Amino acid sequence: MKWSRREFLASSVAAGVTGAFGQDLLVPLEAQAQVPADRWQKAPCRFCGAGCGVLVGLRRGRVVAVKGDQECPVNRGLLCIKGYSLPKILYGSDRFTTPLLRKGNGFVPITWDAALDLTAKKFKEAIAASGPESVAAYFSGQSTIFEGYAINKLMKGGLGSNNLEGNPRLCMASAVAGFYSTFGMDEPMGCYDDLDLADAYFLWGSNMAECHPVLFSRIMEHKHQDPRVRIVSLQTFTNRSTDEPADIVALFKPNTDLALANAMAHVIVKEGLYNQEFVSKHATFKKGIENIGYGVKDTDEYAAHPPGWAAYKPFADRAQAISFEDYRAFLETYTPEYAAEVSGVPPGQIREIARLFADPRRKCMSLWTMGFNQHVRGTWINNLVYNLHLLTGKISEPGNGPFSLTGQPSACGTTRETGALSHLLPGGLFVANPEHRKRAAEIWRVPVERIAPRPGYHTVEMFRALDRGDIKVIWINTTNPFQSLPHAGRYAKGARKGGERFVIVSEVYPSETSKVADLILPSAMWVEKEGMFGNSERRTQHWQKMVEPPGQARDDLRQIVELAKRLGLGSLFSYGKEPLHKALFEEYRKFGLGKAKDLAPYDVYVKVRGGLRWPVVDNRETRWRYREGFDPYVKPGEGVKFYGQPDGRAVIWARPYEPAAEAPDAQYPFWLTTGRVLEHWHTGTMTRRVRELHRAVPFASVWLAAEDARALGVAAGQRVKITSRRGEVVAQAQVGGRNSVPKGTVFVPFFDEQVLINLVTLDAYDPISKQPDFKKCAVRLEKA
């Protein structure tokens, strides 16, 4: 079937407006579309990490419509069904509009002054009694760049606590660790232009049609125009919209992508298909330690802090240099026949995919997202895909490159780039590095001793510490961890233990997380405040505040600054007469100037439509990094230089296949994997309040194979109980349709709080990146 880009997007919209009935609090999109706008202003979309540009239609102080911005290079005027729903996410009838304090089993309204005074009091008391390690903040890839930078400065430069995490730890930390370990710097070297220039696309565990539909539409348009284009989909189950247009679909068993990628490298090296000149000039070879653990236990040697801060022991990979011949010998194990036995992908298909990738006449783009990153060996599998591009020299040039897609609008710009994780400082700096702490202290104008040298708790361990009582106070902002964390029942129960624990939640709508809060702070959202996001291709975009938030809701930046004042740290955000947003951004960009992370001045982003991709030097963006002629940091004559590494060479890693942390057995015979659907986003707190989206998919189902359904005596539409060693949920069965799963595997989306599938998932994680694995655990199914 040949679909144009607009036909594909039209089909996604149609899919989102068919289905059952919705809830009374939802307002139809059609009614909004009929309201004429008085004026239009630019903004990036509030949903995924694609960074689509929208024009926001305003009338009488309300957002009444949106349309795709034809001047934005990301989407060129197109939007998916979630993008078209943006006006509706602002106006659900159950918005939080006043601060609420827990009283018994309910909440009572209080003033903002009382709420902020109480928050400051709880922080001060915890720090006085137990030190700065006893307080924490958990923010989001949906926070703005201003907010991410400000909370980082407050926590690390003000309070001396590195216990700052963001929910991107759950979605892209393995990509970060992979980029750093291979290239010495974070984020993709390529950009979305590659979607129009490649002629072979390798989708690794990525359901792009549903999770990044506008970007997938660019691939579809290219395939429609050029019959040479090939799409290879490597998945653990198939999705109709992504896989029907694919030329090759390779279904592999969970966690065996490691063996599959090594087998592709085996074919490329064995058959002499690698680019010898590129490898000899631009790559080195290394191996790390193996059998590194899974982080399942709090006391895991490699993966977590043992109870008690003083016993903290960071993971160290202990890399060793090896030769190309050593690497060749390592690959000897990974014959296509061996990989076929492990993964289930036929050896002939493995060879076909490897040869297609290595074909020197083709430009290749690899794309992945949570299927790779939410993986107990997520860093390793990222490394292995980079190996393929480095071996063939297909990297850092138009149409050739690996590309890690992100799921949130500013996971890159806010969390990765501003350093809002427990081990980072802004601009790619690390708290453990004395010179980096010195630089941060100089820019922040604080004593260097105030910035703690040890990384704080990563996300899973942060909530384990809250459960144990090591963390006394936590501020959760713009995220819903008690629905989105794996093994969520443990962590929600831990937050409810009371005692010295105090949980502050800044939120827009009621959620599983607000249910356990001691204090709820009502937040402004999207165009109710000024903001900046940074998308997957290093593109930074700005928008102005356009409408007032409802009631007493406040933007999160103001909450941060007001708390800082009450903590005696108001000077951190004192910039004289200069506007706060501009002053914060101009201070923040100092971290990257001259360091290949250059951002343009604030005023440039205010004016430009569609944003700019960093590094921005002399107001010119960079499309391809590390390549002469495109990257201003690669000097004439250097050709390709991976300047994040001291020797300018990228690392090809020998990373072995290792099994998942938990696998099916006689008691729990099914694999469970989780993910998203087109119509909903993350935990559904926004999309479930849009009538059309809710009507299309009113609840989460469990997809299972027809053979398994027959064996269980279950028909489509009947209820199934899903049980793991950690918890159980009940969901309606689906057989086929948009998803087709192989025998022995089940798939459940995580957007539905009534089918809270993360009660069942396992909180194992990658010991290097500390990212949990939501894609693999063992469950039992029974007819409910």
* pLDDT of residue 717 exceeding 90: yes
pLDDT at 3 over 70: no
What domains are defined for the chain?
A: 5-89 (3.30.200.210), 173-409 (3.40.228.10), 670-783 (2.40.40.20)
Q: What is the pLDDT of residue 303?
A: 36
pLDDT of residue 29: 45
pLDDT of residue 696: 95
pLDDT of residue 103: 96
Q: What is the pLDDT of residue 315?
A: 65
Candidate list 142, 374, 408, 541, residue with the active-site label: 408
Q: Sign of the C-alpha dihedral, residues 389, 395, 399, 402?
A: positive
Supply the mean pLDDT for the chain: 93
Assess whether the previous peptide bond of 453 is cis (omega < 30° from 0). no
Looking at the chain, the number of H-run helices and the number of E-run strands are 27, 31
Q: 499 falls in which pLDDT band (50, 70, 90)?
A: confident
The model's pTM is 0.94
In this prediction, residue 110 carries a pLDDT of 99
Q: How far apart are CA 117 and CA 473, in angstroms?
A: 14
Interval 153-163: pLDDT, tens? 999 999 999 99
Is residue 190 flagged as an active site residue? Answer: no
Burial class (CB in 10 A: 0-12, 13-18, 19+), 495: buried
Choose the catalytic residue: 295, 407, 419, 531: 407
pLDDT for res 409: 97
Residue 307's pLDDT is: 39
> Which helix H or strand E contains 435, and what residues bound it?
helix 434-444
Q: Which one of 155, 172, 525, 777 is the catalytic residue?
A: 172
Position 304 confidence tier, pLDDT thresholds 50, 70, 90: very low
| Whether residue 82 lies in the annotated active site | yes
Compare 506 and 14 and report the one with higher pLDDT.
506
How confident is the model at residue 34, as a pLDDT?
A: 53
**Mean pLDDT, residues 90-115 taken together:** 97
Catalytic residue among 72, 80, 155, 171: 171
pLDDT number for residue 52: 98
Helix ranges (H only) for 302-343 are 324-331, 336-343
3-state DSSP assignment of residue 285: strand
Q: What pairing do the DSSP bridges indicate for beta strands 502-507 and 473-477?
A: parallel
The catalytic residue among 45, 370, 462, 777 is: 370
Confidence of residue 6 (pLDDT cuts 50, 70, 90): low
pLDDT at 665 over 50: yes
Sign of CA dihedral 772, 259, 331, 360: negative
The residue type at 168: P
Tell me how far apart the alpha carbons of residues 41 and 458 are, in angstroms, rounded to a whole number. 38
* Percent of the chain surpassing pLDDT 90: 91
What is the pLDDT at residue 32? 47
The tens digit of pLDDT for each residue in 648-660 reads 999 999 999 999 9
Instruction: Find the mean pLDDT for residues 516-544.
Output: 99
407 assigned to active site: yes
Which residue in the block uniquely carries the two structure tokens 């010195």? Answer: 438
Q: Which pLDDT tens digit goes with each residue over 193-238?
A: 999 999 999 999 999 999 999 999 999 999 999 999 999 999 999 9
408 is catalytic: yes
Angstrom CA distances, 141 to 149, 417, 603, 609, stand at: 12, 11, 23, 22
Is the pLDDT reported for residue 309 higher than 60? no
Catalytic site includes residue 546: no
pLDDT score at 25: 34
Model confidence over 18-39: pLDDT tens digits? 332 223 333 444 444 456 899 9
pLDDT of 328 > 80? The answer is yes
**Which of these is catalytic: 42, 82, 88, 776?**
82
pLDDT at 293: 87
For the residues 484-494, what does the mean pLDDT come to? Answer: 96
| Contact of 744 with 703, CB cutoff 8 Å | no
Instruction: Report whether pLDDT(305) > 50.
Output: no
495 band by pLDDT with thresholds 50, 70 and 90? very high
